[in-house]
A and B are shown apart, each in its own frame.
Chain A
Amino acid sequence: MKPFKNMRGPGRPAAPATESFVPAEKWLEHLEEEIEPQCLTDEKSDLEMVLKNSPEDLGVLESLKRVRAAVKSLDDVALPESGHYYDNLHAKIMAAIDDDIAMNGEPERKPQRAPLFKRGLFKQQAFGLAGMTMMIAILAFVGLNKPSVTTTIAPQASIEENFERKIASIDSRAGARFAHDMGSFESEEDFLTESAAQRLKQLSSAQADAMFRSLGR
């Protein structure tokens, strides 16, 4: 038989054989079916297990049931059953309200609008808002991932200008040729590599040395 855990709470010793394992308060909660939903599965099954194995706990639960039944038995309020009686009571109540209004005027009321979700506007506004949010998200996504064509051109131009000046300072004839070749490459690396290769082919060793020295190498 699986031993049932001590349900008397932390710090409290397990009940001796003649006492209930579970405090009466817990049995009352069980009786009133107000056990918190998150505990329902585990705790309820534990309590059922205790009831099966502990006559003392069963006794506590039964005594609580008896007391509740006894109190309920004191309920001896006898209500009138006649519909005519309630029609009269209703008429008396509404007449009292009419008299009060005649004497004091209507109570001040602030006109109430039904909450948005009641009016059905909330749905429209919610869809509109969702649509707008989606549009903004799409635009932002496109904006962030837009290919940066202009950024590659500008540095390329500045690198080319710099390189052109360097070459021109060594060999003025290379400047014109450099400008002609500039626009025919797809990437910065291609252009620089090809330019360097072309130029280096035409330079003398002395000119090449001078060039590299000016470039800081």
Chain B
Amino acid sequence: MNRTKSDLELVQDVKNGDRKAFSELVVRHQRSLLRLTLRFTREQALAEDIVQESFLKAYQKLELFEARASFKSWLYQIAMNTAKNKFRERGLDLMNIEDTQLGVDPGAEVGLVRENIQTALRAEIDKLPEKQRMALTLRIFEDLSFKEIAEIMACPYDTAKANYRHALLKLRERLESQDSVAGWDAFIGQAESAWDGAAPAASAQKEIEQ
């Protein structure tokens, strides 16, 4: 039975001239890369363009990859920079959620109260400094470790942790003052239930993609 090659082994093969190895890397990482870019862009067509351009850049610049970080982290870093450049071309700020369309699941029933709270929460997240928002997004939505976040953000491990910590503590401080908002407790109760149910599923999905 053929052993599945690791990302680093596939990278070695590409550097040795095997283009099929890069095709395998694309298959492995295109879905998670699309999810990451879709999270920031909220436009599927734009996210696809960024994914395509990111893989092309990775193929062109593979000699620069020195395996200090994982290939996935390096690819994510390329995608984030590509996305920032695309937004800059449009005169937009990548991390400014107000400039992007909100992707709402059309099948979900969205109550007015819940929508208001989500809007309030997004607004608070939007006020966070860019690096804190990025660390928060990568940790909570992408379920990445602080080591991976540090690699993607090209910063030390402790800095990645600190950015996340400051973001969450700041949100806590601001949202605690919103306890008087009607429906907040119910919203939080639902959110906690959804989190408990989603956490094992998210881990399983991550394992499949890896």
Contact = CB atoms under 8 A, between A and B. Distances in A.
A66 B125 CA distance: 15
A44 interface: no
Given A69-B194, A72-B140, A73-B195, A111 B15 contact: yes
B59 A77 contact: no
Interface in B22-69: 22-23, 26-27, 30-31, 34-35, 38-39, 44, 48, 51-53, 55-56, 59-63
A186 interface: no
Contacts of A107: 59-63
Contact of A70 (B12, B102, B187): B187
A34 interface: yes
A25 interface: yes
A109 to B, nearest CB: 5
Interface residues of A, number: 40
B19 to A, nearest CB: 8
A67 B178 CA distance: 12
Nearest to B32: A79
A64 interface: yes
- Determine chain B's interface SS by DSSP, over half rule: helix
B194 A71 contact: no
Contact of A69 (B22, B30, B108, B195): B195
Interface stretch (B78-86, B88-96, B163-171): B163-171
B109 interface: no
A70 B121 contact: yes
Contacts of B118: 73-74
A109 B103 contact: no
A69 B188 CA distance: 7
25 contacts: A25-B165, A28-B168, A34-B161, A67-B171, A68-B195, A70-B121, A71-B136, A71-B140, A71-B171, A73-B118, A73-B190, A74-B122, A75-B141, A76-B104, A76-B105, A77-B35, A77-B103, A89-B34, A89-B48, A93-B51, A97-B22, A97-B55, A110-B63, A111-B16, A112-B15
Given A68-B168, A73-B187, A89-B52, 8 more contacts: A67-B171, A73-B191, A73-B195, A74-B121, A77-B39, A111-B16, A111-B17, A112-B15
Interface of A: 24-25, 28-29, 32, 34, 63-80, 86, 89-90, 92-94, 96-97, 100, 107-112, 114
Interface of B: 12, 14-17, 19, 22-23, 26-27, 30-31, 34-35, 38-39, 44, 48, 51-53, 55-56, 59-63, 102-105, 108, 117-118, 121-122, 125, 136, 140-141, 146, 161, 164-165, 168-169, 171-172, 175-176, 187-188, 190-192, 194-195, 198
